């Protein structure tokens, strides 16, 4: 927006030829310079006041100067980032920028009032003329007050200094404290009864009256200062401070700065209309700003705020966070423009009340937010920091991290709390996405682990099937190769027994008939020990018969153990299966070398026939008994295995215990895992108990449990239903 003054600047800015010697010679190279101006009365009014000054400098110096109106929010980053080359701002902002950003003042404004120039100003604290209840500054306690901006010297800080001198804390003692953004808005707020009183720059009321915007008789000055007399014969409520400076930013070289300063000093002489357009009579040499330092020092503002507070202020501006300020005593809350923007609202769409925050809290976060705030107010937690959701104008929710600090009075009661809001929606969405990804990855991992487990079980089954198939073939071969000759021998032993009985009877008959045999017969009888032969030969035949019967029984036990010809459940004698298994393991039970014989104690209960897969169940007995035998050290004394069976309701219980070395808890946890073994490499596959568990639990719907104590022994408890239900 570019509003021209009433008189064309092309005419105003032409220097008088008679004064040409005093004009600054144009530079051969045209450069562009931006003049940032604090728009204390709005952008339009700022351009009206200051565009002629930019045109004047352009004409005098041969460079291009433009005006950049800046509000209180924009001015700090504009100077910090080098977005402007010169700055025209209030005196307190100049002090701050001089310290932080190295700007240097070139001139001080000579404000035009009533035909004279003044280089000082102050603040005016005022009310409506019909508010007779407000006569002094103390009467403002408990009232609603407005200023232009917290960083405005004339429209707030000067007034605050006067309150501070009387021990009045505006944030604690006022019913509400609001900042409207411009000086004009403060005046309108008082006029329209939106607030009880306000403060503005000393010439604001007069200028607005000259512009026809207000009537001076509608307002009354509070704390009117008259001690300055004719030196400052205007409405005034505060001490005086030097007028605003024209300053160069640090990127501007000294030559340009000097040329601008000289042009400013000559403005009232070369182009008085330009000075008049800015309500001034030009510029003078820079004044001392010590009084501004005193004000800021007393209020602990700007460079006197203390490092932590100043750093926090700069951090908030630089971090793009919103900030809030809550008067706890009256619930009035100030929300910064950025705070409102984060939720999609314009400056005037959210009222200054704590309920504006409370009503936008996500229902799921409400209790946590209020509880955390209450705990902080009561001093139960040392700091206030909370992540929660606030509703956006479009109905969605934004994740916010809120941080705050509290102020307490001399009695320890909280009266003010301020802090910042940062939008962390992207971070929370990323965290949620990461959690979802981790959840999916975990789910996939579990599926892979399950697939691996299934694969291991399938492998175990294949190994077991192959093992049983090989065993079946072996048993079939043994049955075929051994059973036939054993039957032949067993059958012939009976015949041989009969033949020998006949021969012995015949021999005895010869001895009775011929009691005196020939000497040769007597000699031969003595040589072969005929009497012993006749008595031992029947016993020998009987032993042969017992041996063949035992071989036949072993073959039968092998076939019974494997039960390869029985694929379905059948009702079988569990005790017979255990006995067959013990018969096969008989060699392992015998004493060998230094190892003692393993004693087996059978404590069989009265079990009915049990419907089961007999061959598979016999394999379980084999695995458990083999492990029990292996668990005995060679030097073990009286190694014993106890087998106990009993009936518990409709379930058969088989308990196999030993007094071997036992196991620790870690081994017990992995006992039934496939391929887990404590035996040396090559002596165990780690499949025996895993297969046993699968047979008992999955095939028979039973349970297989292990109880063991190190150095005391182990007990395996098998429990299966008597009648098949699966």
Note whether 344 and 394 are within 8 A (CB): yes
Between 552 and 238, residue with greater pLDDT: 238
Greater confidence (214 vs 638) lies with: 214
Q: Alpha-carbon distance 460 to 466, whole Å?
A: 10
Which residues make Cβ contacts (< 8 Å) with residue 663, sequence separation at least 6?
Answer: 671, 678, 706, 708, 710, 714
**pLDDT for 636-674, tens place per residue?**
888 999 999 999 999 999 999 999 888 888 888 878 777
Is the pLDDT score of 20 beyond 50?
A: no
| pLDDT at residue 496, rounded to an integer | 84
| Distance of alpha carbon 565 from alpha carbon 518, whole angstroms | 64
Please tell me the pTM assigned to this model: 0.42
Q: Do domains 9-117+243-284 and 121-241 have the same CATH topology?
A: yes
Distance between CA atoms of 217 and 511, rounded to whole angstroms?
172
DSSP letter string, 280-314: EEEEESPPP-HHHHHHHHHHT-GGGS-HHHHHHHH
Residue 134: per-residue pLDDT: 96
pLDDT of residue 84: 96
Determine the Cα–Cα distance for residues 483 and 489; give it in Å rounded to an integer.
Answer: 10
Residues above pLDDT 70, as percent of the chain: 86
**Higher confidence at residue 331 or residue 613?**
613
* Burial degree of 715 (CB within 10 A; 0-12, 13-18, 19+): middle
Q: Over 90: is that where the pLDDT of 262 sits?
A: yes
Span 348-363, mean pLDDT? 88
3-class secondary structure per residue, 339-375: HHHHCCCCHHHCCCEHHHHHCCECCCCHHHHHHHHHH
As a CATH number, domain 9-117+243-284 is 3.40.190.10
Q: Which helix (H) or strand (E) holds 533?
A: helix 530-562
CB distance 662 to 710 below 8 Å: yes
Other residues' Cβ atoms within 10 Å of the Cβ of residue 612: 27
Query: What's the mean per-residue pLDDT of the chain?
Result: 84
Considering only residues 661 and 15, tell me which one the structure prediction assigns the higher pLDDT. 661
* pLDDT per residue as tens digits for the range 418-472: 888 989 999 888 888 888 888 888 888 888 888 887 787 677 666 666 665 566 6
CA distances for 367 relative to 364, 372, 378, 696, angstroms:
7, 8, 16, 53
User: Which class is 320-423 in CATH?
Assistant: alpha beta
Per-residue confidence (pLDDT) for residue 25, from 0 to 100 = 45
In order, the DSSP letters of 620-633 are HHHHHHHHHHHTS-
Taking the CA atoms of residue 663, residue 665, residue 666 and residue 668 in that order, the dihedral angle to the nearest 10 degrees is 60
Are the C-beta atoms of 134 and 195 separated by less than 8 Å? Answer: no
Give me the pLDDT at residue 209, please.
Answer: 93
d(CA 119, CA 341): 39
How is domain 121-241 classified at the architecture level of CATH?
3-Layer(aba) Sandwich (3.40)
The region of weakest confidence among 71-80, 407-416, 434-443, 688-697 is 407-416
286-300: average pLDDT: 87
Q: Is pLDDT of 410 > 90?
A: no
Count of C-beta atoms within a 10 Å radius of residue 544: 16
pLDDT in tens, 492-504: 887 888 888 888 8
Please give the pLDDT value at position 149.
87
Give alpha helix (H) positions in 119-245.
158-165, 170-173, 183-191, 204-210
Is 88's pLDDT higher than 80? yes
What confidence tier does 543 reach under pLDDT thresholds 50, 70, 90? confident
Q: What's the whole-number mean pLDDT along residues 692-713?
A: 89
**Can you give the pLDDT at residue 108?**
93
Q: Are 124 and 236 in contact, with CB atoms under 8 Å apart?
A: yes
Q: Where are the domains of the chain?
A: 9-117+243-284, 121-241, 320-423, 459-565, 567-726
Better-predicted residue by pLDDT, 371 or 293: 371
Distance in angstroms (rounded) separating the CA atoms of residues 155 and 241: 12
Question: Which is more confident, 351 or 602?
Answer: 602
Is the pLDDT at 345 greater than 50? The verdict is yes
Please give the span between the terminal C-alpha atoms of the chain, in angstroms, as a whole number: 89
What CATH number matches the domain at 567-726, 3.40.190.10, 3.30.450.20, 3.30.565.10, 3.40.640.10? 3.30.565.10
- Which tens digits make up the pLDDT trace of 154-204? 999 999 999 999 999 998 899 989 998 889 999 999 999 999 999 999 989
Q: What are phi and psi of 385, to 5 degrees?
A: -150, 125
Instruction: Flag whether pLDDT at 17 surpasses 50.
Output: no
The DSSP string of 1-63 is --PPPSS-HHHHTSPPGGGGGGSPPPPSS--EEEEEEE-TT-HHHHHHHHHHHHHHHHHHHSS
% of the chain with per-residue pLDDT over 90: 39
Q: What is the reported pLDDT for 490?
A: 75
CA 424/CA 445 separation, integer angstroms: 31
Q: What is the pLDDT of residue 590?
A: 84
Closest by Cα among 130, 146, 123, 112 to 215 = 130
The mean per-residue pLDDT over the stretch 673-680 comes to: 68
Residue 465 has a pLDDT of: 61
Structure confidence at residue 14 as a pLDDT band (50, 70, 90): very low
551, 555, 548: which is closest to 478 by C-alpha? 555
**Amino acid 464: pLDDT:** 62
| DSSP 8-state assignment for residue 724 | -
């Amino acid at each position: 927006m570019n509003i021209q003054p009433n008189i064309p600047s092309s005419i105003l800015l032409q220097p008088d030829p008679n004064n040409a010697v005093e004009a600054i010679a144009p530079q051969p190279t045209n450069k562009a310079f931006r003049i940032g101006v604090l728009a204390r009365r709005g952008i339009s009014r700022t351009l009206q006041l200051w565009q002629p000054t930019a045109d004047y400098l352009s004409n005098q110096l041969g460079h291009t100067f433009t005006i950049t109106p800046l509000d209180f929010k924009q001015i700090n980053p504009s100077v910090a980032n080098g977005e402007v080359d010169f700055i025209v701002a209030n005196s307190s902002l100049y002090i701050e920028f001089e310290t932080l950003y190295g700007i240097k003042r070139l001139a001080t404004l000579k404000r035009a009032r009533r035909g004279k120039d003044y280089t000082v100003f102050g603040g005016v604290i005022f009310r409506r003329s019909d508010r007779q209840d407000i006569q002094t500054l103390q009467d403002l306690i408990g009232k609603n007050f407005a200023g232009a901006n917290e960083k405005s010297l004339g429209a707030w800080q000067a007034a605050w200094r006067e309150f501070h001198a009387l021990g009045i804390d505006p944030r604690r003692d006022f019913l509400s404290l609001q900042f409207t953004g411009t000086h004009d808005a403060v005046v309108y707020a008082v006029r329209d009864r939106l607030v009880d009183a306000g403060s503005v720059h000393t010439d604001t009321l007069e200028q607005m009256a000259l512009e026809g915007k207000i009537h001076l008789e509608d307002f009354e000055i509070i704390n009117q200062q008259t001690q300055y007399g004719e030196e400052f014969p205007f409405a005034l409520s505060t001490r005086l401070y030097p007028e605003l400076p024209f300053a160069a930013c640090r990127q501007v070289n000294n030559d340009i700065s000097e040329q601008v300063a000289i042009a400013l000093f000559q403005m009232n002489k070369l182009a008085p209309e330009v000075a008049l357009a800015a309500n001034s009579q030009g510029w003078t040499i820079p004044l001392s700003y010590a009084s501004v330092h005193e004000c800021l020092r007393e209020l602990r503002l700007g460079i006197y705020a203390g490092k932590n507070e100043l750093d926090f202020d700069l951090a908030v501006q630089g971090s793009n966070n919103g900030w809030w300020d809550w008067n706890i005593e009256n619930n009035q809350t100030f929300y910064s423009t950025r705070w409102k923007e984060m939720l999609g609202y314009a400056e005037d769409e959210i009222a200054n009340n704590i309920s504006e925050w409370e009503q936008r809290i996500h229902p799921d976060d409400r209790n946590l937010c209020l509880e955390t705030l209450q705990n902080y107010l009561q001093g139960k937690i040392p700091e206030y920091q909370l992540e929660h959701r606030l509703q956006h104008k479009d109905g969605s929710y934004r994740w916010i991290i809120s941080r705050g600090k509290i102020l307490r009075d001399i009695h320890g009661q909280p009266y003010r709390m301020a802090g910042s809001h940062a939008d962390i929606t992207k971070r929370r969405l990323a965290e949620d996405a990461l959690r979802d990804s981790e959840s999916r990855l975990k789910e996939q991992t579990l599926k892979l682990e399950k697939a691996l487990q299934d694969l291991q079980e399938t492998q175990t089954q294949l190994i077991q099937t192959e093992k049983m198939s090989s065993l079946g073939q072996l048993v079939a071969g043994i049955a075929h190769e051994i059973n036939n000759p054993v039957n032949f021998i067993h059958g012939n032993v009976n015949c041989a027994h009969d033949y020998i009985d006949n021969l012995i009877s015949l021999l005895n008959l010869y001895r009775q008939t011929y009691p005196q045999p020939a000497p040769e017969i007597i000699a031969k009888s003595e040589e072969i020990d005929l009497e012993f032969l006749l008595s031992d030969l029947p016993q020998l035949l009987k032993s042969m018969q017992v041996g063949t019967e035992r071989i036949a029984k072993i073959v039968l036990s092998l076939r019974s153990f494997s039960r390869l010809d029985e694929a379905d459940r059948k009702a079988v004698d569990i005790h017979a299966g255990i006995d067959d298994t013990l018969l096969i393991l008989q060699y392992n039970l015998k004493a060998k070398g230094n190892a003692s014989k393993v004693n087996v104690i059978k404590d069989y209960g009265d079990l009915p026939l049990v419907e089961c897969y007999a061959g598979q169940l016999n394999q379980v007995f084999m695995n458990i008994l083999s492990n029990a035998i292996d668990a005995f050290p060679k030097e073990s004394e009286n190694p014993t295995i106890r087998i106990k069976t009993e009936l518990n309701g409709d379930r058969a219980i088989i308990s196999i215990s030993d007094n071997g070395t036992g196991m620790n808890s870690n081994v017990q946890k992995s006992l039934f895992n496939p391929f887990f073994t404590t035996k040396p490499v090559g002596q165990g596959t780690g499949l025996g108990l895993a297969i046993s568990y699968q047979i008992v639990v999955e095939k028979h719907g039973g349970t297989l449990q292990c109880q063991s104590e190190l150095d005391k022994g182990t007990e395996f408890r098998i429990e299966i239903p008597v009648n098949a239900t699966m």
